[in-house]
Structure formats: C-alpha cells, structure tokens
Amino acid sequence: MTVRLNHTIVPAKNKKVSATFMTEILGLPAPEPFGHFLAVRLDNDVTLDFMDSTGDFRPQHFAFLVNEAEFDEIFGRIRERQLQYWADPQAQRPGEINHHDGGRGVYFPDPDGHYLEIITRPYGSGG
C-alpha cells in the first residue's frame, strides 16, 4: 500500500494574498482556482488549498525541502521583502540560518502568521 499526502486546507484571511505570497516566495506557478479554494501545487503534486476564513484560526507550520540553489533563491526573496526570519521555531535566533543535518534552514511568517520553513536536508538525515 502506498499512502501519500494529496492536499491540505490552509485557512487565510485573504486566500488570494496568502496563496500568491506562497507562490511568489517559493518560486512556484501562480495559484489555481479549485471550487472556493486557491490551490498552490508543489513539485510532488501535493496542493495547499487556501480558503478564506472569517473566524480565528490557529497558525500552521509548513516545511519545504529544497535544494541548495532553491534555498539561495527563496532566501534572497525573503531578504528582498525584508521579512523577519529565524534559525529556530521558537524565534529565539532572529536573522540567522540553522545548519541542522549539514544543511541550511530558516523559518519565516506568511501574511496570516503561518510559520513557513525552508530546509535543504531532511531532519534526521545526518550530515
């Protein structure tokens, strides 16, 4: 049996703003409408389906595994936009990059306060 994540719903105050931010910062194709969602398709065919939410919602965490060149490109866009970023999920190391498992990683917020992360090595992979 093969089990793979297909999609997950991401609540947003404004789905267009949040989905567009995600695609622009990660260098992905523009989000596509799907019913009342805006779908961001990742390279492994998983979609993040952004949905307008009028109530309060708990921010979620999304970690993206990227290669070294992609990390440089994404991190460049983070810095161009002057976004806050941290080396740790507790935001105790502002303006730093971590080097877990011999790679690089950084955390940063999206417009709705979701906690995004880019890493170049999966956690626990050694290094």
Q: Is the per-residue pLDDT at 110 higher than 80?
A: yes
In 1-127, the DSSP E strands lie at 7-12, 32-34, 37-41, 47-52, 61-65, 105-109, 115-119
Chain position carrying tokens 């080097």: 99
Q: How confident is the model at residue 117 (pLDDT cuts 50, 70, 90)?
A: very high
| Confidence (pLDDT) at 127 | 64
pTM above 0.85, yes or no: yes
Predicted confidence (pLDDT) per residue in 39-97, tens digit: 999 999 999 999 999 999 999 999 999 999 999 999 999 999 999 999 999 999 999 99
